[in-house]
């Protein structure tokens, strides 16, 4: 399985092409739109979410709501393009009239300056920000929605929520109060900040409100949990086959993500090996399993069969309504950085994006190991493999 996205933040369309999805998988635009709506919602989002109503069109690879095994093309229209049609016109030469709203003063923390240097966009840094914008993640969520449908067919569930926003975090034992991942989903999706309790949600909202009053931005940490993955996906034989490494790359590849860990790895630096390693147990009913899950479901780059736990750190958005110092790229004089329409925080949306990126990497791993031509054949093979793992 592989995919590619295309599109600019204020261009007419966002597009993705997915190759390698098996034939026979039930999928509809409604399935994908449900996930796109989740990405748009969340406390602290900006004005653009009031303009866009992200809905997907499935252009190829699906017939009668069933995949054909051929490449799948997905398309989301940018409603805000109506306000930018002349500025973003692909088939018109540049004129003074359609070259307004230039970006000449790069924002600290954004791709503006380095992207301009790399691609020689010295005339207008908008040529950088239009693609480096997180708007592109709408298509990663669309691709992830297809991946989640595939994973569900073999009993794998994936969900993301907000673990921390600014100084406010869920209680250390918050997850122990939920019976299963469905219960976690029900709670976090019912709250505007995607926290794990109403009390923490209110505290997070207060932080966002105060940050907005200060014309600043705030970051946080999101967590993704996946259940039902068989043991042995990924490999230890080389660096580029380790599944946790692939997930780490996918998470840090999301706009504004700066760090990733598995299990509680950020906390392991102050612990000893005897406090961290997951002891191995065996029962006739389960086969091998672990007493704990501090490793987050991975050993040696491979899934252990335990719950997969991934956390990602999201920096504050670099567009500030009280802009920081910058330098005009044209005349090299000091100015305040450019201001673009932005959110107070993207952490609530980042939880959804991270969820879908984990789903994509897990789906890739499944399709690497099992037959990828037909979904029913894949399911048969997964069932046999699970039996083999249990009997080991």
Contact 262, 298 (CB under 8 A): yes
Q: Which domain holds residue 190?
A: 2-391
Please give the pLDDT value at position 339: 86
Task: Check the annotation: does 317 bind a ligand.
Answer: yes
Please give the pLDDT value at position 52: 75
Please give the pLDDT value at position 180: 96
319-344: b or e for each residue (b if 16 or more CB lie within 10 Å)?
bbeebeebeebeeeeeeebbebebbb
Task: Check the annotation: does 55 bind a ligand.
Answer: no
Task: Check the annotation: does 318 bind a ligand.
Answer: yes
Task: Check the annotation: does 135 bind a ligand.
Answer: no
Please give the pLDDT value at position 50: 65
59-92: b or e for each residue (b if 16 or more CB lie within 10 Å)?
eebbeeeebbbeebebbbbbebbeebeebbeeee
Residues of the chain with pLDDT under 50: none
Task: Check the annotation: does 127 bind a ligand.
Answer: no
Please give the pLDDT value at position 283: 96
Please give the pLDDT value at position 49: 64
Task: Check the annotation: does 107 bind a ligand.
Answer: no
H/E/C letters for each residue in 201-256?
HHHHHHHHHHHHHCCCCCCEEEEEEEECCCCCCECCCCHHHCHHHHHHHHHHCCCC
Please give the pLDDT value at position 265: 94
Task: Check the annotation: does 309 bind a ligand.
Answer: no
Please give the pLDDT value at position 140: 98
Please give the pLDDT value at position 245: 98
Task: Check the annotation: does 131 bind a ligand.
Answer: yes
CATH number, domain of 191, equals 3.60.150.10
Distance of CA 183 to the CA centre of its chain: 21
The pLDDT tens digits of the residues spanning 158-171 come to 999 999 999 999 99
Q: How many domains does the chain have?
A: 1
Please give the pLDDT value at position 240: 95
Q: Which residues are within 8 A (CB) of 137 and not within 5 positions of it... i.e. 6 or more apart?
A: 39, 254, 255, 349, 353
Residue that is written with structure tokens 């990924």 in the block: 234
Please give the pLDDT value at position 251: 98
């Amino acid at each position: 399985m592989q995919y590619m996205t295309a599109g600019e933040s204020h261009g007419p369309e966002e597009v993705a092409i997915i190759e390698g999805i098996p034939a026979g998988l039930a999928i509809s635009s409604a399935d994908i739109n449900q996930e796109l709506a989740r990405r748009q919602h969340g406390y602290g989002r900006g004005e653009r979410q009031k303009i866009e109503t992200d809905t997907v069109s499935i252009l190829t690879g699906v017939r009668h709501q069933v995949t054909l095994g051929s490449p799948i093309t997905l398309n989301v229209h940018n409603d805000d393009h109506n306000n930018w049609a002349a500025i973003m016109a692909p088939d018109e030469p540049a004129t003074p009239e359609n070259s307004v709203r230039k970006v000449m003063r790069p924002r600290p923390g954004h791709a503006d300056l380095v992207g301009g240097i790399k691609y020689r966009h010295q005339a207008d840094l908008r040529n950088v920000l239009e693609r480096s914008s997180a708007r592109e993640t709408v298509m990663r969520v669309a691709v992830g929605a297809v991946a989640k449908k595939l994973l569900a067919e073999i009993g794998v569930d994936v969900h993301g929520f907000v673990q921390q926003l600014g100084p406010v975090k869920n209680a250390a034992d918050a997850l122990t109060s939920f019976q299963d991942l469905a219960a976690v989903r029900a709670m976090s999706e019912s709250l505007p900040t995607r926290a794990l309790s109403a009390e923490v949600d209110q505290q997070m909202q207060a932080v966002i409100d105060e940050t907005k009053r200060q014309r600043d931005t705030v970051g946080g940490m999101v967590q993704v949990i996946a259940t039902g993955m068989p043991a042995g996906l990924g490999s230890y034989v080389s660096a580029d086959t380790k599944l946790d490494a692939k997930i780490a790359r996918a998470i840090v590849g999301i706009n504004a993500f700066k760090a990733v860990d598995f299990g509680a790895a950020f906390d392991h630096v102050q612990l000893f090996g005897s406090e961290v390693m997951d002891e191995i147990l065996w029962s006739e009913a389960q086969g091998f399993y672990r007493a704990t899950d501090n490793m987050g479901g991975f050993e040696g780059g491979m899934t252990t069969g335990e719950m997969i736990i991934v956390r990602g750190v999201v920096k504050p958005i670099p567009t500030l309504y009280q802009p920081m110092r910058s330098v005009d790229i044209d005349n090299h004089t000091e100015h305040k950085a450019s201001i673009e329409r932005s959110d107070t925080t993207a952490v609530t949306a980042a939880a959804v994006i991270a969820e879908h990126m984990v789903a994509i990497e897990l789906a890739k791993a499944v399709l690497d190991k099992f037959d990828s031509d037909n979904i029913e054949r894949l399911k048969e093979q997964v069932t046999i493999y699970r039996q083999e793992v249990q009997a080991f």
